[in-house]
């Protein structure tokens, strides 16, 4: 969880309050795929608790990474508009905070300071 706190340090308290108020907590059960490689996503997700496996079809669906508490999922779709390059599957029950792409885009368009802080956050994650 300390990773998410460091990353979200780029945002103001108001930004974080907005994300909490406009996001929803979702329980992802073991073996559920949250993000499918090459398919559009409709939300930015933050892993609050749990673990997910990352794998890519181009390498025989072998595991290429592990996602744990504090990781942000789907941020690249907001940065460069590309489809996800990997599939993410829960390897244990996982709790995420999910913020819809539509709500996030509306906030980014309406509030320049949030936009600047958010994109600074994305580049800090990269």
In tens, the pLDDT along 8-37 reads 667 778 888 898 999 999 999 999 999 999
pLDDT digits (tens, 9 = 90+) for 67-111: 998 888 877 766 677 888 899 999 999 999 999 989 988 988 888
Highest mean pLDDT among 9-18, 52-61, 94-103, 113-122: 94-103
Question: Distance between CA 46 and CA 60 in Å, rounded?
Answer: 27
Round to whole Å and give the CA distance between 113 and 119.
10
How many of the other CB atoms lie within 10 Å of CB of 102?
A: 10
- How many angstroms separate the CA atoms of 19 and 21, rounded? 6
């Amino acid at each position: 969880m300390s990773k998410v706190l460091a990353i979200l340090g780029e945002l103001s308290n108001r930004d974080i309050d907005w994300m909490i108020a406009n996001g929803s907590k979702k329980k992802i059960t073991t073996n559920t795929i949250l993000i499918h490689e090459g398919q559009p996503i409709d939300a930015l997700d933050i892993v609050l608790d749990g673990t997910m496996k990352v794998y890519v079809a181009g390498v025989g669906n072998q595991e290429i990474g592990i996602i744990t508490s504090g990781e942000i999922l789907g941020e690249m779709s907001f940065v460069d508009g590309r489809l996800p390059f990997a599939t993410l599957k829960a390897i244990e029950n996982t709790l995420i905070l999910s913020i819809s792409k539509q709500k996030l885009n509306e906030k980014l368009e309406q509030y320049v300071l949030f936009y600047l802080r958010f994109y600074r956050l994305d580049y800090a994650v990269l």
